[in-house]
Amino acid sequence: MPGELAGLALVVAAGVGLVAVFAILRRERRTTDTGRDLPVAPATEGMKLCPNCGEGNLWTDATCLYCGSKLPG
């Protein structure tokens, strides 16, 4: 009887551990999702926005680093 209780306790502990691991992984995946809006707007000071793709480039760049289009100015 004591051996059966110890085995049952191990099975329950393993189950609780698995549930905890899945909960932690789910929470981490939810907090690292990049599809959501950022809580703070990224700084664009000193950058030129590409009229073709909308990506930010340094103000010294003549062409867009992302699509190769000519930048204004």
Q: Which pLDDT value is given to residue 29?
A: 66
Q: Domain range holding 63?
A: 41-73
The reply to whether 29 and 4 lie within a common domain is yes
For 17-70, how does the pLDDT look when each residue is reduced to its tens digit (9 = 90+)?
999 888 888 876 665 555 566 676 677 778 888 999 988 899 899 999 999 999
The reply to whether 45 and 26 lie within a common domain is no
Q: Which pLDDT value is given to residue 52?
A: 93
The Cα–Cα gap between 32 and 43 comes to: 20
Q: Which pLDDT value is given to residue 26?
A: 83
Considering its fold, how many domains does the chain have in total?
Answer: 2
Is the pTM here over 0.95, yes or no? Answer: no
Nearest partner of 49 among 66, 34, 29, judged by Cα: 66
